[in-house]
Amino acid sequence: MLLAVRLQESRYLLLLVKFDMKKSGQIWISAVLYIALGVVAISIVLSAGVPIINKIKDKNTIVQTKEILFTLDNIIREVRDEGPGSRRVIQPFIIKDGNLFIDSSNNKIIWELQTATVFVELCGRTKTECEDNELIVKEGPLQIYETTTIVEDENIVHLELSYKDVGFLDVISDAGRNSPLIGRYSITIENAGIDPAKNTNLPDIEIKAV
């Protein structure tokens, strides 16, 4: 009789152990499923949210760079108007993103940013197409246009200042004459006077970036 009772107790304990193990296994499976679902949900949110965040970031960069170029343009014109020897220093001069080109051969300052953001209406692959389609936006001296590329959802925003009636830009940069400026610089702008050899009344404007 006692033996039978002991056997019955042993079977009962074994059933409890099996039940606990089964229950523990179910808990672990549930935990793994919840973690997997969480990872999937986070991935979906990130895949949808990151492009939006990048577009907002690029729009802010464009707006900030517009203000930088307006300031640069005002100083260049002040130096021109004040005559030979006039000088200004901008420090720090910071281009956080995109590429700033000082094009001496065409007397232009151009900033470009590759982006998925449509900041202004897209107008084709080249500036000529933008001009033909009358899709160049003008804000004071600044021209704004956005060209497409061969890559879908990849455009280039252009901010452009022209100095053909202001002076001859001459850039001196540690990065090289035709290299883009990006990062932190000290910019010196100086009216170098009129070069008689150029047979014009427009002065040379030296822009030194170090």
Asked if residue 11 is part of any domain, the answer here is no
Q: Name the residue with higher pLDDT: 166 or 38.
A: 166
Asked if residue 100 is part of any domain, the answer here is yes
Contact between 153 and 116 under an 8 Å Cβ cutoff? The reply is yes
Structural domain harbouring 97: 56-209
Asked if residue 105 is part of any domain, the answer here is yes
Asked if residue 176 is part of any domain, the answer here is yes
Percent above pLDDT 70 for the chain: 76
Asked if residue 168 is part of any domain, the answer here is yes
User: Strands, E, within the chain: which ranges?
Assistant: 87-103, 108-115, 137-139, 142-148, 155-162, 168-173, 181-191, 204-209
What total of structural domains would you count in the chain?
Answer: 1
Q: Name the residue with higher pLDDT: 18 or 103.
A: 103
pTM given for the model: 0.76
Asked if residue 42 is part of any domain, the answer here is no
Bridge pairing between strands 204-209 and 168-173: parallel
Task: Tell me the per-residue pLDDT of 112-130, one tens digit each, with 9 for 90 and over.
Answer: 999 999 999 999 999 999 9
Asked if residue 7 is part of any domain, the answer here is no
Q: Is the pLDDT of residue 81 over 50?
A: yes
Asked if residue 199 is part of any domain, the answer here is yes
Task: Please compute the mean of the pLDDT values over residues 125-151 and round it to a whole number.
Answer: 94
